[in-house]
Amino acid sequence: MSLLSERSVRVPSSAVAAASVTVVLWASAFVGIRAAAPHFAPGSLALGRLLTGAIVLLIFLALRRQGLPPRAAWPGIAISGVLWFGCYMVALNWGEELVDAGTAALVVNVGPAIMALLAGVFLGEGFPPRLLAGIAVSFAGTVVVGLSMSGGGHSPVLGVLLCLVAAITYAAGVVAQKPALRHASALQATTFGAVIGALACLPFAGQLVADVRAAPLSATLNVIYLGVFPTAIAFTTWAYALARTTAGKMGSTTYAVPAVVVVLSWLLLGEVPGWITLAGGVLCLAGVAVSRGTKLGFGRRA
């Protein structure tokens, strides 16, 4: 499908509503992680979120009467489960211990550009000039964000780097998942990706038990919220919307995530990135917009 025909596709109102739910819930995850960070270590927070999400998704899978994915889907599901659900969540949780939610969202949103680069390498989707230019602009934006945080010492810079690692691992996870979706449904791929991610995070089980015992009830409920809403529900509404429109249109909706995060972070946490950080974030998103000007064949978080 060409870009022109992709733009001409009319998106059903139900898909727009589902995509809007996804954007808001994913944005709320950045704020929720930041709020839980004082009480939960990065690994235990990831495990608690994944266990909650996996349980909800397994119940939904049973209600939908969908069984195990075909054997051909498992390699992609396993890789995406470890990278996207496991490594991504741990890196993001750790990064948000060191930087505010808005900054984290701005850096993580270079993921679609990285995704396009990986797709060119592993899926044969090529390296058009706009892709390379967009990646260069996004990288420049990340450098600006990092430099803007350097005045706070090594910790904020480390936080930016960890958020960049999160962007890379989620992009790699989505690229690995794409072939699996030829054989498995979106619900199957998401459910068992969450299960595998939880299994990968099991070494943090002892820390999770200790954190739950020490944390206030509100913090534990926050972890449950992260598992039920930004993980189980938001990933499901994303799949629902993606099935009813094009990947290009759906990918563009995620540009709104950092703006929503900044507003929620300001309202709920009293945190707002500095002007230089915001300028670097705008560069990151501009680079993504340039790189996504070509048809990629798949959307963001699914």
pLDDT tens per residue, range 101-142: 878 887 887 777 777 777 777 766 666 777 677 767 767 777
Q: Residue 139, exposed/middle/buried by CB under 10 A (0-12, 13-18, 19+)?
A: middle
Q: Is residue 209 part of a domain?
A: yes
Q: Is residue 208 part of a domain?
A: yes
Full residue range of the structural domain in which residue 82 is found = 27-291
Name the domain count of the chain: 1
Give the best-scoring range by mean pLDDT among 92-101, 192-201, 274-283. 192-201
Averaged pLDDT for residues 89-93 = 96
Q: Is residue 63 part of a domain?
A: yes
Question: What is the reported pLDDT for 70?
Answer: 94
Question: What is the reported pLDDT for 105?
Answer: 81
Averaged pLDDT for residues 81-88 = 94
Q: How far apart are CA 94 and CA 63, in angstroms?
A: 35
Q: For tokens 């706070």, name the residue.
A: 152
Which range has the worst mean pLDDT, 87-96, 171-180, 245-254, 262-271? 245-254
Question: What is the reported pLDDT for 74?
Answer: 95
Q: Is residue 8 part of a domain?
A: no
Q: What's the one-letter identity of residue 287?
A: G
Query: How many residues are recorded in the chain?
Result: 302
Q: For tokens 């600006």, name the residue.
A: 144
Which range has the worst mean pLDDT, 157-166, 190-199, 268-277, 284-293? 284-293
Question: Between 90 and 103, where is the model more confident?
Answer: 90
Q: Is residue 18 part of a domain?
A: no
User: For residue 256, what pLDDT band results from cuts at 50, 70 and 90?
Assistant: low
The average confidence (pLDDT) of the chain is 80
Question: What is the reported pLDDT for 255?
Answer: 63
Q: Is residue 171 part of a domain?
A: yes
Q: Is residue 122 part of a domain?
A: yes
Q: Is residue 10 part of a domain?
A: no
**Cβ neighbours for 7, distance < 8 A, ≥ 6 positions apart:** 248, 249
Nearest CA to 50 out of 10, 92, 19 is that of 92
User: For residue 152, what pLDDT band results from cuts at 50, 70 and 90?
Assistant: low
